[in-house]
Structure 1
Amino acid sequence: MSKKLLLGIIVVLLITNVTTMLLWKNDQPEESVGENEAIDTKKPVASINGTKISFQDWMKSLRNNYGKKELKTIIDREVVKQLAEENNITVSDKVIERDIATLTTMQGLVSEEELKEMEASWREDIVYRYQLEALLAQDIQVSDAEVESYFNKYDRQYQFSESVQLSHILVSDMDTAEKVYDELLAGASFSLLAKEYSIDEETRERGGYLGFNSVNTEFLPANYFDIAEGLEEYSYSEPFVTDNGVAILFLHKELPDITFTYDELKPYIRNELALQSVNQNLVADPLWEKLDIEWIFGE
């Protein structure tokens, strides 16, 4: 790739992603600093006992403290993208979905829209990580026997078990449960009703939130999963009898089993073992020499 083209790409990415480049656009009276905010770049951004801080000073500080790191991150991503395309390195959709599912279980309660935004960001990061790993491991030899032995020993850590994200309202009798259910039908908040009515002291103050649970867990009544199977995401059940009383269940999110064969995981495990064998950190620096790169911070 020519220097001119690569530098052109970097400039485009800088303009769209790096806040510090706003310093180059001071001839415009306003700049956006948030989703619904704008500032006048000709006026101070702050004043402390009469001492004014200009927009230019602010931008210079951002550039000096974060500019190099941010630009390197952008270049790293573009380097990996180009080399991955050149070497036909792709990432299995199944692997991506497994990693997204794992990351999802680490979140608390988020809206459906927020989760979609997170997933889009995660997807980019996951693809970048696996492509970087594959590129760094290209010339490192690992035997098939080593890979197969590792898979046989640790294959469970690469699989994902079906999980459900649940909340519940647990009460002592059906009459109370029916009353709560009627309030839900009338539009009341599940979380607030849990705080008001639930007898489960461990989850009541969290609005009945039970978190993500694998279907193999022993910490929830078995019929919770049977009830959850009949629900759509972001919906609640009718009252039902359980071991500890009468419950109403809310299904936030359901994540299916994602399992892999040895052949599906072989290239990913090989790359992991290759990098471990030479103590190679997961950084793109060694790949820069494969492309013709110039940047404002020099060598």
Structure 2
Amino acid sequence: MGKKQLWMVIAGLIMINCLTVAFFLTRANEVGGAAINDETVATVGKKSISRQEWLNELETRYGKDVLKEMIDHKVVEEMAARYKIKVSDQDVEREFSMLQSTYNSFSSKNIQSEKKWKEQIRKTLLLEELLTKDVKVSEKELKGYYDKNKNLFNVPDAYHLSHIIVKTKKEAEKAAKELANGSNFSALAMERSIEEFSANEGGDIGYISVNDEQFPRVYIETAKKLKKGAYSKPVKVKAGYALLKLEGKMNGKNYTYSDVKEQIRRQIALEQMKSPASAAPFWDEAKVEWFYGRNK
């Protein structure tokens, strides 16, 4: 994964976390005022913690960062409209596909999460366009970058998998028999799998590709032979034996120079800036005023 793709992953996670905190900070005003604020959210012996105490602590720890994130999003939207800058759905889908094939936390089961990722990608691309709108990069430099980094724009096939890992072949065969008799793969993963992180997600490990080094090579080899919705026979892995289920497949694509020319221009321009991509330079132009004064 390139630097830009990694930055967007981090930005996406930050955005989702910030939106979650923002939800809690505004919840009290949405659902009923003082009575709700006095509600007890936890007890420790005879002592209690009220909802208002909890919200106050959240605001103290995260309030400024959450508000700044929300302002940045509004600033990007307003400046993009002012300078008539738009991002196509194709650009968003391309960036999402690149991330999806290289970062296995994406899951098509969580459509809401996918929407948030795409929203963040769109905002990131708009910000990059704003920051680099006046930067010119020669055709020779653009083409040279593409020729040198073609592998960054070649998206391999990716397989969305779930797995159940047990210690012995006998346990794996028993689980396979239960699946054949109609047991639910997700429920069985939560009950039986010894890999706790994925077990909590019903065995879902997201998308993996031929370049993924986190999972055994046998996962890809097995996935290629499965039809969507089907599960494998027990396969030997380091921790014991695994049963794999193919949830879906994303076909790879090799993007041409014309497909990614603007992406490369932004990347080169941002590297020349040598500063983090931020909406802060546009705050004055957008006439931002906020609770914490003018210090950004």
What range is the shorter-chain TM-score in?
0.5 to 0.7
Using the TM superposition, give the Cα deviation of residue 236 of structure 1 relative to its aligned residue in structure 2, in angstroms.
1.0
Distance in 2 of aligned mates of 1:220 and 1:43: 52
- RMSD after superposition: 4.7
Query: 1:285 deviation in Å?
Result: 0.3
Matches within 5 A, 1:212-231: 212-214=207-209, 219-220=217-218, 224=222, 227-228=225-226, 231=227
Does residue 297 (structure 1) correspond to residue 292 (structure 2)? The answer is yes
- Counterpart residue number, 1:8: none
SS in 2 for 1:236: coil
- 155 and 80 in structure 1: CA distance in 2 versus 1, 3 angstrom threshold: same
In 1, are the aligned partners of 2:101 and 2:158 still within 8 Å (CA)? no
Gaps of 5+ in 2: 1-18, 190-194, 235-241
Distance 1:165 1:27 in 2: 42
* 2:58 matches 1:62: yes
The answer as to whether partners of 2:160 and 2:205 remain within 8 angstroms in 1 is yes
Map 1:129-140 onto structure 2 (within 5 A).
129-140=124-135
Counterpart residue identity of residue 118, structure 1: S
Q: Which residues of 2 match residues 1-299 of structure 1 at below 5 A?
A: 17=22, 19-21=24-26, 28-30=33-35, 40-42=36-38, 55-101=51-97, 102-103=99-100, 106-107=103-104, 112-113=108-109, 115-166=110-161, 167=163, 183-190=178-185, 212-214=207-209, 219-220=217-218, 224=222, 227-228=225-226, 231-232=227-228, 235-236=229-230, 250-299=245-294
- Rg: which structure is higher? 1
Report how far residue 67 of structure 1 moved. Answer: 1.6
Cα drift, residue 87 of structure 1: 2.6
Structure 2 vs 1, CA of residues 89 and 158 (structure 1 numbering), >3 Å: closer, same or farther?
farther
Is 1:91–1:131's contact at 8 Å kept on the other side of the alignment? yes
Q: Return structure 1 stretches of 4+ with deviation > 6 angstroms.
A: 23-27, 47-52, 191-194, 206-211
Q: For 1:191 and 1:83, how far apart are their aligned partners in 2?
A: 45
SS in 2 for 1:227: coil
Q: Normalization by structure 2: what TM-score?
A: 0.66
Contact 1:168–1:209 (CA<8 Å) still a contact in 2?
Answer: no
The percent of aligned pairs where both chains have the same amino acid is: 28
Q: How many residues align?
A: 259
Shift of 1:284: 0.8
Contact 1:142 1:274 in 2 (8 A): yes
Residue 65 of structure 2 aligns to a residue in which SS?
helix
Deviation at 1:121, TM superposition (A): 1.0
Give the conservation status (yes or no) of the 8 Å contact 2:106–2:207: no
Change (3 A) 1:142 1:121: same
Task: Report the alpha carbon displacement of residue 130 of structure 1 after superposing the two structures with TM.
Answer: 1.0
